[in-house]
Amino acid sequence: MQRRRSSYIVAGVIGLVAAVLALLLCWPRAGLGLVGQALWRAELLTYDFRLANSVPQTASDHLVVVTIDERSIASVGTWPWPRRYHARVISNLAEAGAKLIGVDLILSTVSGGESGIAKPLAWEPEPSADDLALAEAVAEAGNVVLAISMAKSRAHHGEMAADVIQADFPYWRFEEAAYGMAVVNMPKDLDGTVRRCWMQRTYQDESWPTMPLLLAAEFLGTEASAQMQKVEKAAGVDSVSLRGDSFAIAYRGRPGVGIKRIPYWQVLEGQFDSAEIVGKIVLVGATDPALQDMYDTPVTLGGQTSADSAAGEQMPGVEVMANAIDTIVGERYIKPASPVLPALLTGLLAIIVAVFEVRLRPLWSLGLLWLPAIAAPALLALVLFEAYNLWLLSIAVLLGVTLSYAGSTVYLELTTERQRRHLHRSWSQRVSPDVLSVILDNPAIAGVQGKRVEATVMFTDLQGFTSFCHSFPPEQVVETLNEYLTRITGAIRHHGGTVHKFIGDGVMATFGAPVPHPDHARRAVLAACEIQEEIEGLLEKSKREGWETLVRVGIHTGDLVAGDIGSQQLLEYTVIGDTVSTASRLEGLNKEFGTQIMISKTTQQQAGAGFELEALGEAQIRGRGEPLEVFAVRRLTEDE
């Protein structure tokens, strides 16, 4: 019991260490190199699976995207288009009643002007008529937000390096005409997938809101700064799962499903239903893959992000922004769960798996512990995401449970499991399965050094076996002997006895050691009676073959010494002492008295009723000073 308790303590420590290691490796901001990155990628893939399988797959009621798609380019002409086309599209949208218009096009330069070799320092190209038409349309609409592009790059100068932010702002005439300007860049996670949206970006100490935040704030009638505070509170942007001032995008569906699309050429020609525009946020942007504004998202290819996404399942950047706007307007925030929850789950499950594995053994634990311990948190993560839009970090839990199982398996392999296999090999053929289970659960009882116990010893012998060996072929001798010994050992094991050794055609067995039984004497006598019953058919067979035999059994009860006895190279569990030699002598006395089962007075007193006995008087046992009263067991008189 003390040994098992210490094993539980060690297993608990293994589980705790596994949990701490898993949490450290999976901590998003731990920065543990390639291992940490691989585990975080795995976490993001589970996030993608949860999101892709919980999206509503219905179009937003608040948003429309005017798509610069393949059909529009084929109808309107080669890209880039004259800006008078953009002016007409903006005017048509404004007349149709669009509440806000976001233009996801970088309009940082004019489209006209002369190109010369030498220009004055303050020289500025003259805007074309198309530029002026666009500026006028933007001003007249009064609700147009233009795009700012900001990109971070790494600049090197000698041994020095620094991050440099480059920005492209709208041409000043467009800027003056616009209702506002906002950043259109989206953050990518380390696997290149867009799962988040920034709320603002800083350029030269001045903060600029992102287009999703600005358009959502204006649509809801709040200031951008106030809306930012609401998003920070509702979306948990300070969580370790969301790096920087960003929030998770709750995508509505696959590309072209979650956001209503209207081709650019239809708006340009006025061939659209104004009811689809009135009162909504309208984004204008590129959806043609040839314009290279496509991104991997959690909902592309059912949450898979790989080279396969080149098959046209990527989402246009303008639609990504539309989903980000819908997240804010619909308050469909995906909020990361507190890191305390996965930490507690990891620690609890890792310790439970380690402790119970010591009890159940590794193979059973694989199905009964490890599998449920990884399935339960995975299911919990799915339910929390589906029901509450709560993102529970789950890879740490799965890794902690797996490390705990692996660590406990190694511990058991190096200690108790190896000993258990050794005991199983040593005892599986000596004792019955129920006795074997006791020995395996309590290995100390089979590994003692000179422990004195009271037990009952049995010796058996086949009459006339030596002459049988000389008269019959060796193959028949072996076959017959194996058949007899199988029946004899089966009866011994059936009554909880332990077969210690085969002595030629005889068997030595004990009852009450190594596994203690208070009724060991009765068990031995019952086994002797069953032996006589088991071999009746074999005796008839032997008689027909010309060999008349019977089985003689001697049984004695008393103190003996049990333990691992042998040399430094080879040890064997056995029993020694006067009780053993006396039982052997009683087996031999059967021949003198003409009996088959002979027991001592001590065994007779402890065996109890239910046997037909014959008192044989006192017999002188070689090696003993005083004669021993003995009995012959004729038969069993009651059912057991």
Q: What is the pLDDT of residues 341-366, one digit of tens each?
A: 989 999 999 999 888 887 776 777 77
152 contacts 104 by C-beta, under 8 angstroms: no
- Provide CB contacts within 8 A for 143, sequence distance 6+: 94, 98, 99, 100, 101, 179
**Of all helices (H) and strands (E), which one includes residue 63?**
strand 63-68
Tokens 């053993």 belong to: 580
Assign 116 a pLDDT band (cuts: 50, 70, 90). very low
The tokens describing 488, both together, are 């004899």
What is the residue-wise DSSP string for 173-197? HHHHHSSEEEE------TTSB--EE
Query: Amino acid identity, residue 214?
Result: L
Q: What is the pLDDT of residue 305?
A: 45
How far apart (Å, rounded) are the C-alpha atoms in residues 271 and 608?
Answer: 107
440 contacts 423 by C-beta, under 8 angstroms: yes
Phi/psi of residue 509, each to 5°?
-140, 160
On the question of pLDDT at 123 being above 80, the answer is no
How far apart (Å, rounded) are the C-alpha atoms in residues 236 and 238?
Answer: 5
Beta bridge partners of 148: 183
On the question of pLDDT at 125 being above 90, the answer is no
What 3-state class would DSSP assign to 285? strand
With CA atoms as reference, report the closest residue to 628 among 610, 597, 591, 602: 602
How far apart (Å, rounded) are the C-alpha atoms in residues 208 and 224?
Answer: 10
How far apart (Å, rounded) are the C-alpha atoms in residues 420 and 526?
Answer: 30
Q: What is the pLDDT of residues 297-332, one digit of tens each?
A: 999 755 444 444 444 479 999 999 999 999 999 999
With CA atoms as reference, report the closest residue to 560 among 595, 591, 525, 602: 602
**Of all helices (H) and strands (E), which one includes residue 632?**
strand 628-636
Q: What is the pLDDT of residue 235?
A: 84
DSSP state of 419: H
Which stretches within 545-621 are classed as H helix? 578-593, 601-607
Q: What is the pLDDT of residue 473?
A: 85
pLDDT, the chain, mean: 85
How far apart (Å, rounded) are the C-alpha atoms in residues 331 and 60?
Answer: 13
With CA atoms as reference, report the closest residue to 47 among 222, 272, 297, 313: 297
Strand bridging mode 200-203 / 206-209: antiparallel
Neighbours of 591 (CB within 10 A): 11
With CA atoms as reference, report the closest residue to 235 among 391, 339, 378: 391
- Provide CB contacts within 8 A for 166, sequence distance 6+: 150, 151, 152, 153
- Provide CB contacts within 8 A for 344, sequence distance 6+: none
> Strand runs (DSSP E) across 74-122, as ranges?
100-103
Q: What is the pLDDT of residue 117?
A: 47
DSSP state of 170: P
Neighbours of 125 (CB within 10 A): 16
On the question of pLDDT at 243 being above 80, the answer is no
The 3-state DSSP composition of the chain as helix, strand, coil percent (nearest 5) reads 50, 20, 30
Work out the angle between the directed axes of helices 536-544 and 520-534 (0-180°, nearest 10): 40
On the question of pLDDT at 60 being above 60, the answer is yes
Q: What is the pLDDT of residue 465?
A: 82
How far apart (Å, rounded) are the C-alpha atoms in residues 536 and 627?
Answer: 33
Which stretches within 389-508 are classed as H helix? 395-414, 416-427, 433-441, 465-471, 474-494
The tokens describing 42, both together, are 């795995």
Strand bridging mode 63-68 / 260-263: parallel
On the question of pLDDT at 612 being above 60, the answer is yes
197 contacts 324 by C-beta, under 8 angstroms: yes
% of the chain with per-residue pLDDT over 90: 51
How far apart (Å, rounded) are the C-alpha atoms in residues 6 and 3?
Answer: 5
What is the residue-wise DSSP string for 322-364? HHHHHHHHTT---EEPPTHHHHHHHHHHHHHHHHHHHHH-HHH
107 contacts 168 by C-beta, under 8 angstroms: no
Q: What is the pLDDT of residues 507-521, one digit of tens each?
A: 999 998 877 889 999
Q: What is the pLDDT of residues 478-512, one digit of tens each?
A: 888 888 888 898 899 889 888 888 888 899 999 98
Q: What is the pLDDT of residues 82-112, one digit of tens each?
A: 999 999 999 999 999 999 999 999 999 998 5
Neighbours of 118 (CB within 10 A): 5
With CA atoms as reference, report the closest residue to 558 among 604, 499, 610, 526: 604
Beta bridge partners of 607: none
Architecture of the domain made up of 433-636: 2-Layer Sandwich (3.30)
Assign 418 a pLDDT band (cuts: 50, 70, 90). low
With CA atoms as reference, report the closest residue to 341 among 383, 293, 394, 296: 394
**b (16+ CB within 10 A) / e for 399-430:** bbbbbbbebbbebbeeebbeebeebeebbeeb
Query: Amino acid identity, residue 297?
Result: T
Taken in order 572, 574, 576, 581, the sign of the CA dihedral is negative
How far apart (Å, rounded) are the C-alpha atoms in residues 565 and 571?
Answer: 5
Residue limits of CATH 3.30.70.1230 in the chain: 433-636
Neighbours of 319 (CB within 10 A): 29
How far apart (Å, rounded) are the C-alpha atoms in residues 9 and 13?
Answer: 6
453 contacts 560 by C-beta, under 8 angstroms: yes
On the question of pLDDT at 2 being above 90, the answer is no
